[in-house]
Structure 1
Amino acid sequence: MEEFLQPLRETAIYFKLTSKVKFGGAVDAQDLIRVLKSFNESYNAFIDIEYDKINRQNDKAKLKTIKSSLLEDNALLIVDLKFESCGMAISPNIVTQYNSIPQIKDLKSWKLEAFDDYKAIVSTDFNDRQFLTSMSKRFDPIQRQRIFKPIVEGIANNDKANVKLGSSFKKIDHKISKPEGINYAILIPDPVSSAEIKQEIRTSLAMVEIKGGRATPKVLELFEEITNPVYSFTTISFESRKYKFKYPLYCELIHEEGLYSLENKQFGIYAFGKNVDEARFKFSEEFDHIYSRYINLPDSKLSADVIEIKKALKLIVI
C-alpha cells in the first residue's frame, strides 16, 4: 500500500482547510465536501479540454465512452490525511492505468504531465495580468468557465472556510486568490451560447453574410487574430441612453505603460484610461457618439465604410 501511495503523495496537491466558524477545532463537513467537489469538477473539465486537443474521434457515442474511461483513470484520490489540521492530499493514480485511450501512447505519463500542469494553474495568482493573458490565449471563454469557476466560487469565494495549498516539498501557505474586478470578467467571462464554442483557442474578427434560412453564417473576410484578452459588452449606458445588444460586443483589452485600452475594430473604437472603469466610460461615450451621429443619416451622406458601420449598428442594437 505504501509503495503505491508514496509516488502519488509526491505529486499531489496538498491543502489545509480551516472553518471560519469554530467547532472546537473541528471542520464543518459541508466545507470539506465543497472543496473536494470544486477540485473534482474543475480537474475533470481540465482533463476533458486537454483531450479535446488531440481527439480524432468524430462519433459522439464512441467519444463519450472514451472520455468516461479517461475520467475514470484520472479520478482524484485522497492519498494523505491529517485529521488534527484537516490537511489533505489529492492526486490522480499515476502509478497504474485501467484503460487504453486513443491518441495517448503512455497514459501514466500523460496523467502526470496533465496534473502537474493543472497544479501550476490553480496555484497561480488569479490577478496576475500575464497569467490572465496566457489563460485567455490557451482557453476559450467556455473552457475558462468550466476550469476556473468551481475553484473561484467553491474555494476562493467561500466565506465559511479558508483553504491553503502546497505540495510535498512546498509549505502549505498559498491562498487561492479571488480575481478582482475586470480580472474576474477575463478569467470567468459571461457564458456564451453553444454556437459560439470554438475547437481552436483563437479569436478573430470576421465579416460575415447572413441569409434567411441559412444555419451557419458565411464568412466573407477573416481579419487578424486577436492576441489580447477579450472583454465583452452586453449593454452600454451613456448619460440617459442605454443600448442593449442582441449578442456580445467584443473588444480587445490591452494594458500597456500604465494605461488600459479597449479596442473594437468593427466600429473603429479605441478608448483608453488610467483604469478599466475609465476605459469603459470612454468606450461607452465613443459608441454613443457613433450611434447618435450615423444611425439616422441617409446613406447618401455617408462614405462606404461608414455605411458598413451603420449596418453593423442596426444588427447589434436591439
Structure 2
Amino acid sequence: MVAALRRPIEGPAAWKGSDFKSKDDVAFDLGPRHVAAFDAAILEARRQGLGIPAIGASRYDFATIGEDIDALKRELLHGRGIVLLRGWPVEKYSLDEIGLLYGWLGQHFGKPVIQSGKGDRLGFVADIPQPGKINRGYRSSAELKMHTDSDDIVGLLCMRKARTGGLSRVSSAISVYNEILATKPHLLEPLFDGFRVHWNGEEAPGEPPITEYRVPVLSETQGCLSVCFGYKYIEDAFEALGETPSALEAEALAYFNEVAGRADIAFEFQLEPGECSFINNYTTLHSRTAFEDWPEENRRRLLLRLWLKAHDARPIHANLRRYYGVDGMYAEQVA
C-alpha cells in the first residue's frame, strides 16, 4: 500500500460548508463594465461568425476586466477553490453566443478539454437519457453523490433551473481528508492506494474498459493534496472484475462518501439562471440533489459545463494525469 499523508492541512482551501452563511460568501457579481466587455466579445464573435464549435480554437482578450479575471483565477487555484459568478446576461444573447462567451472566459483559467467521445468542449447538463446506452449522471435527473469530474477546473453555468430540486453541493476535499485523519486515520491508506476505475463504455481506443492501474482517491505530489473520486465507477469496476473490496477498502470508500456529504462539511446552494460556479477539481468535490423538471421543453433545466486544464499546472500523481489524459479524457477518439 502507498504511504498516506499523516498531517493536517491548513489554508483557505480547508473550508467547511458551515463557514458560509450564503452564496454571498463565495460570489463575485458581474457589473456594467463586465457586461460591456461581454458585449464587445459578442460583437467580435458575430463579425467572425463564431459559435460554440470555436471554443478552444479561438480566443478573446478581455483586457478591460483582466485584473478581475486574474483575481478569480488565483482564488480557484491557490485560494478556496470555489468562485460563483453572478449576473451573466443569459437572456441577452443566443445559446450559441453565451456558450462561446463562457468558453472564451474559461480559457483565461485554462484550456477547455474534451468531455466525451463526441469531442465536445462544452457540455450540456440536462435530463436527456439515451435508451440502450450507459448514461452518465449529468444526463439524468437523479441525485448525484459527491464526486470529481475531469482535469483541473470545472465550470457550470445555469441557463435554466429545474421546477424543483437540482441544488448544487460542494465540499472541500482538504477538509474531508482532515476529518478522516482526525477520526479514522486507518482508512487513509486504501484511499491513497487507490482503486481501478470503470470507463463505462467511454474508454479511449486501445484502453481496456477498466483501468489497469489504480487511480488514487487522495494523493500528495510536491506538497499538494489532490482528490479524484467517483464512487459508482469504482463499484462498477469491482463488479465487472468479479471482485469485492476488502473490508478496509469498503469502509474507507463509504466513510469518505459520508464525510464529504455531511451537513457541516458540504455547502449547498441553488444555481439560478445567470449564475456560474467554477471549482478547483483537485480540492473540491461536488454533487447535485435530484430534481423534477418542467414539462415544457423550452423551460427544462439546462447548465453549460466546462472542463479546463489550468495554464499553471498543479503537480499531481502520475496515474491521475494518465486517467485525465492530455486533452481531456477522450482525446484519442477524436480526429
Q: TM-score by structure 1 length?
A: 0.27
| Larger RCO: 1 or 2 (CA < 8 Å, sep 6+) | 2
Higher strand share: 1
Point out the structure with max Rg over C-alpha: 1
